């Protein structure tokens, strides 16, 4: 059984100075009031164009992002590769609405695919459909059979063309591509377009991956339905499995608009369905390629155990583990050290543009039970180990 307690391996890529810096940052992030005040202050300062970019870049940006451009991420990619950890370049700019900006995001995503082509250190590319479409349009189109006016139909055709251009670039470059999951009021439409792309491009193997958020109570059934559609359509399925990141927002919207809450009744149900989904996909590995995107030690250990039971090679290209840059290094580095396929999401983009992403990471770390305590306790353990060795 794999252990995630080896801090020497977990922090092998960090100097004493790096470790102390991470300790201070996680100490700050561990205070919800400070995160709330800091979020408001940082956004206000950037809006007013106050000179805070340098400070942000040296703190939270440094922890969770690779840089402002693909070129800026080269050092981080090389550092991860030394420990057998791949990079997933994630252009994390959000909230754009003009056609020019949306086209620019499409082109940037295709640039990450071109950078990944033939590079074993970049095993996947990724994008969010909300990065290449107006969110109002996606929300209106979400329910199958929704009526769009002529202008919206034309706009939707452009969005679908952007999606297809990105997927085609991935297919031509032979680079597996994640289409990220989003809020439930966008996700039905995203599922439809993703399944269309899988049917088109996954005839020989999984190139296009859908993302399932298992904090939704309907996702296990959806996974089984997806499998059957792939069997019937004679194509392969790529699935990135996550727990989810929008629970509070989902519950609030469901309550406000008086529709059934799409979220699991409790965390135990989410954990159960996550592991059941892993089991189902491994049981049908002839059809699936899997990325277990998780910071959960139990689910990571569960997948390792299932692979061992079924004599699946640690480096089987159909099974990957993934975590976010700057988080859960004890999982990423110990898995990679033991020979499993591991990649880190490495977000990048202009500091001002990735602030929404960074604030979500800070808020996520304060809200997830035990997240800060776990990160800090491991850092403290490693600091003590190094001090004892000196």
What's the whole-model pTM score? 0.94
Q: How many angstroms separate the first and last alpha carbons of the chain?
A: 31
Which pLDDT band, with edges at 50, 70 and 90, does 34 fall under?
A: very low
Structure confidence at residue 121 (pLDDT): 98
Q: Are 154 and 134 in contact (CB under 8 A)?
A: no
pLDDT of 364 > 80? The answer is: no
pLDDT of 369 > 50? The answer is: no
Structure confidence at residue 361 (pLDDT): 63
Q: Are 280 and 309 in contact (CB under 8 A)?
A: no
**Portion of the chain with pLDDT greater than 90, in percent:** 76
Among residues 283, 346, 357, 384, the alpha carbon closest in space to that of 125 is found at 346
Q: What is the pLDDT of residues 156-179, one digit of tens each?
A: 999 999 999 999 999 999 999 999
Q: For 287-304, what is the mean pLDDT?
A: 97
pLDDT of 193 > 80? The answer is: yes
Q: What is the pLDDT of residues 329-361, one digit of tens each?
A: 999 999 999 999 999 999 999 988 888 777 766
Q: Are 372 and 26 in contact (CB under 8 A)?
A: yes
Furthest-apart CA pair in the chain: how many Å? Answer: 71
3-state helix, strand, coil in the chain (%, to 5): 60, 10, 30
Say which residue, 36 or 384, is predicted with more confidence.
384
Q: For 108-116, what is the mean pLDDT?
A: 98
Domains of the chain: 1-65+352-390 (no CATH), 66-348 (3.20.20.220)
Structure confidence at residue 144 (pLDDT): 82
Which pLDDT band, with edges at 50, 70 and 90, does 374 fall under?
A: confident
Q: What is the pLDDT of residues 44-99, one digit of tens each?
A: 555 656 566 777 888 788 888 999 999 999 999 999 999 999 999 999 988 789 99
């Amino acid at each position: 059984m794999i252990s995630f307690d080896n801090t020497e391996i977990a922090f092998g890529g960090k100097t004493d100075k790096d470790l102390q810096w991470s300790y201070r940052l996680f100490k700050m992030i561990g205070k919800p009031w400070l995160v709330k005040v800091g979020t408001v202050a940082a956004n206000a300062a950037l809006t007013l164009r106050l000179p805070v970019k340098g400070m942000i870049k040296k703190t939270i940006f440094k922890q969770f992002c690779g840089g402002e451009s693909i070129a800026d991420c080269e050092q981080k990619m090389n550092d991860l590769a030394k420990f057998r950890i791949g990079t997933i370049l994630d252009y994390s700019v959000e909230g754009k609405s003009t056609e020019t900006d949306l086209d620019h995001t499409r082109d940037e995503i295709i640039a990450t695919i071109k950078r990944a082509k033939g590079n074993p250190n970049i095993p996947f590319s990724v994008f969010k459909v909300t990065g290449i479409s107006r969110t109002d349009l996606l929300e209106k189109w979400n329910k199958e059979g929704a009526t769009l006016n002529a202008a919206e139909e034309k706009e939707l055709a452009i969005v679908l063309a952007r999606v297809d251009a990105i997927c085609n670039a991935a297919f031509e470059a032979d680079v597996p591509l994640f289409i990220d999951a989003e809020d439930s009021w966008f996700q039905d439409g995203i599922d439809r377009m993703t399944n269309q792309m899988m049917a088109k491009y996954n005839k020989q193997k999984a190139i296009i991956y859908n993302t399932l958020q298992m904090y939704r109570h309907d996702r296990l059934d959806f996974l089984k339905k997806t499998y059957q559609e792939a069997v019937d359509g004679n194509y392969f399925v790529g699935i990135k499995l996550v727990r989810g990141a929008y629970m509070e927002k989902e519950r609030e919207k469901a309550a406000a608009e008086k529709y059934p809450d799409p979220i699991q009744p409790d965390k135990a149900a989410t954990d159960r369905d996550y592991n059941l989904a892993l089991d189902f996909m491994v049981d049908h590995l002839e059809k699936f390629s899997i990325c277990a995107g998780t910071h959960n030690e139990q689910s990571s250990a569960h997948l390792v155990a299932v692979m061992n039971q079924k004599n699946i090679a640690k480096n089987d290209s159909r099974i990957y583990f993934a975590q976010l840059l700057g988080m859960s290094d004890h999982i990423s580095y110990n898995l990679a050290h033991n020979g499993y396929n591991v990649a880190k999401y490495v977000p990048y983009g202009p500091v001002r543009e990735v602030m929404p992403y960074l604030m979500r990471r800070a808020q996520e770390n304060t809200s997830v039970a035990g997240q800060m305590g776990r990160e800090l306790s491991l850092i403290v353990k490693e600091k003590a180990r190094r001090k004892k060795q000196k």
